[in-house]
Amino acid sequence: MTSTSQILHPAIQSDYRKLRETFHFDSYYAIQILIRRLDVVSMFFWNSKHMNEEQVQESREFFNFGWAPFMKLFLKDHNYNIPHQFIQTHQRDYDWADSVILHSGRLAFCKQFLDYEKADLLRFINVKENEFEIKYPNEQIGHAYFERKSVDFFREEIVNRIIKDKKTKNLLTESEIKLKLREIIKNPFGKFISYATTEEIDEYYNEKGHHHILRIQSYDDFDTKDTFGGIEYWKYVDLIEIICGVAIMHTDACIELTKMNSKVDMHNILSYMYFKDSTIKIYSNYFGVNDEVIEQMISCVTLSKENYEYYLDIPAPAPPMYFQVSENQLIRSVAGCLGNPFRFLNAELKRKYKRDYDIAVNNRENRFRKELFLFFPHERIIKISKEINLSYNGMRTDIDAVAYDKETKTLGIFQLKWQDPFGHSMKERFSRISNLYPKAKEWIEKMKFWFSNSDTKTILNSLQITKYFPEAKEISEVCVFVISRNDIHFTGIKTDERVAWGSWHQIIESQARIETKFDDPIREMFVKLKTFTPENRMKREEMPTRQNFEVCIGDYKVFYKE
């Protein structure tokens, strides 16, 4: 029997070939048009006279999914060996870009649905000849929705509060800085933009760049001392922070110019092309390091002829900060700078410096443990600052973190997992599930076996609690936690109800949102985290609905209808 995938995959590939054939000029022009449209849509397409809010969100999502696979078609035959001109683009170019990116997004969505089918998250029903309806086994939105909500809470409620409370170095207000920008902006030929910035303006936007990367937060995936290709991670972070600040300044300058001259087309000024050697020299002088250091770091935030096939195969990837268009030319993308450049950076560091990446990953556990213990600042809590290795009756395992309350006698044991974010990739999702659940289940059973066959004195001694608190003689309750740095709840996967499962962001949100009246910090974290499981949140929170979807692929129609 022919599967849905066997039918639709060839049709999808055929449609992509047809999309490629809609452009008959040099591939470079298509690449530049697509980057410019991606930047403008990402930064400014928040509302439309012709679409309601739901349709706008759908279009933005199709852009997120559609730009990469379509861009890849042009990069395959792009000539990097010759310099290229900075061109002026027009409305007909944007109309073309919209039509092809949106259809590419629908095709990419359909490919994503085929991957969901493999993961048993939905089914394709052949309702008519050449028509397939998408059916979900569970009518409610999946667990990933709550993972995102916790991340959003952290960024919006915690990070923004930190930024707000920080004392700013800037003496200028937002309106004053806009006036300063207007003083330096020039408008060559009435169509383009140029300006020579000042130290005062630079200082203002450097701080803006710092605040921007605080909101992104992915840079905490590694310690500042971790090195990649011989360069410390903090140096990559510092470079990204400065480039983000420059991109924010450039965006503001473009907005001010369009106010000064309404005939200026944002597409022709927002994305800009730079010579790579000049860009490297500017930043090497700024940071006081060799050109080679800056070149290496910039290469890790650049979509280049070496990495585009690897990166553009990721579903809905974050745009890069730079697109390479020739050996010495880069186009800076504000969508890449102000989206999430760390998603691109971390993927590229893993690709280019696999050994360094693995070493850095192994260093994460100590940092994770220290940050977890910040939730237990009380002096009465004994916190064991290293992994505990256990061996009993042929059984070997370890406990990543241990906490013991001297007053309530509550014991907390933790397994810590630093799962990298997987975005929309079903391959990466499967990898996270495979790495997390079987090992966690095995660990839970070993813990159950050990606790059931050991007396209290043995447990307290083995966990080194008596080393720091010799008076410990009793355990009133054992709270078992499995904590992941990122996603931990997956649709269709059952978790052991004896255990509190949570992501790092769910711990933060549950601690902030839920009030308890008992004085038992370890048990309090356990109860709050259990309350915040997706299953429990579904019972008390308003749930979004799935949006209707329809795409024609060759002779086939694929749709979802509520």
Which pLDDT value is given to residue 155?
A: 84
Distances (CA, A) of 520 to 376, 407, 409, 526: 10, 9, 9, 10
- Please report the sign of the dihedral spanned by the C-alpha atoms of residue 36, residue 38, residue 43, residue 48: positive
Taking a C-beta distance cutoff of 8 angstroms, is the pair 71, 31 a contact?
yes
If we measure between CA atoms, which residue out of 424, 335, 338, 336 comes closest to residue 148?
424
Mean pLDDT of 500-511: 93
Which pLDDT value is given to residue 47?
A: 58
Percent of the residues in the chain that have a pLDDT greater than 70, as a whole number: 98
Which pLDDT value is given to residue 3?
A: 84
At 300-329, the pLDDT tens digits run 999 999 999 999 999 999 999 999 999 999
Residue 221 in this model has a pLDDT that exceeds 90? no
Mean pLDDT of 220-241: 94
Taking a C-beta distance cutoff of 8 angstroms, is the pair 359, 225 a contact?
no
pLDDT band with cut points at 50, 70 and 90 for residue 46 = low
- Residue 193 is given by DSSP the state -
HSE, side-chain direction, 13 A CA sphere, residue 437: 16
Distances (CA, A) of 293 to 141, 196, 235, 300, 492: 46, 26, 10, 11, 46
- Residue 122 is given by DSSP the state -
Instruction: Give the residue, 242 or 537, on which the prediction is more confident.
Output: 242
Q: Which residue type does 367 have?
A: R
Q: Quote the CA–CA distance of 66 and 105 in Å, as a whole number.
A: 3
Taking a C-beta distance cutoff of 8 angstroms, is the pair 63, 105 a contact?
yes
At 337-382, the pLDDT tens digits run 999 999 999 999 999 999 999 999 888 888 999 999 999 999 999 9
Task: State both tokens at 85.
Answer: 């001109």
Q: Quote the CA–CA distance of 399 and 414 in Å, as a whole number.
A: 6
Which pLDDT value is given to residue 140?
A: 65
pLDDT band with cut points at 50, 70 and 90 for residue 562 = confident
Which pLDDT value is given to residue 561?
A: 86
- Please report the sign of the dihedral spanned by the C-alpha atoms of residue 378, residue 379, residue 381, residue 383: positive
Taking a C-beta distance cutoff of 8 angstroms, is the pair 109, 65 a contact?
yes
- Extract the runs of DSSP E, i.e. beta strands, from 151-192: 185-186
If we measure between CA atoms, which residue out of 347, 322, 308, 301 comes closest to residue 78?
308
Residue 1 in this model has a pLDDT that exceeds 70? no
What is the number of residues in the chain? 562
Taking a C-beta distance cutoff of 8 angstroms, is the pair 67, 107 a contact?
no
Sheet with 556-560: list strands edge to edge: 123-128, 131-135, 556-560, 549-553
Which pLDDT value is given to residue 420?
A: 81
Instruction: Give the residue, 139 or 410, on which the prediction is more confident.
Output: 410
Taking a C-beta distance cutoff of 8 angstroms, is the pair 466, 406 a contact?
no
Q: Quote the CA–CA distance of 488 and 495 in Å, as a whole number.
A: 10
Q: Kindly report the CATH number that applies to the domain delimited by 364-540.
A: 3.40.1350
Which pLDDT value is given to residue 473?
A: 94
Please list the residue range(s) of the chain that carry CATH number 3.40.1350. 364-540
Percent of the residues in the chain that have a pLDDT greater than 90, as a whole number: 69
- Residue 320 is given by DSSP the state P
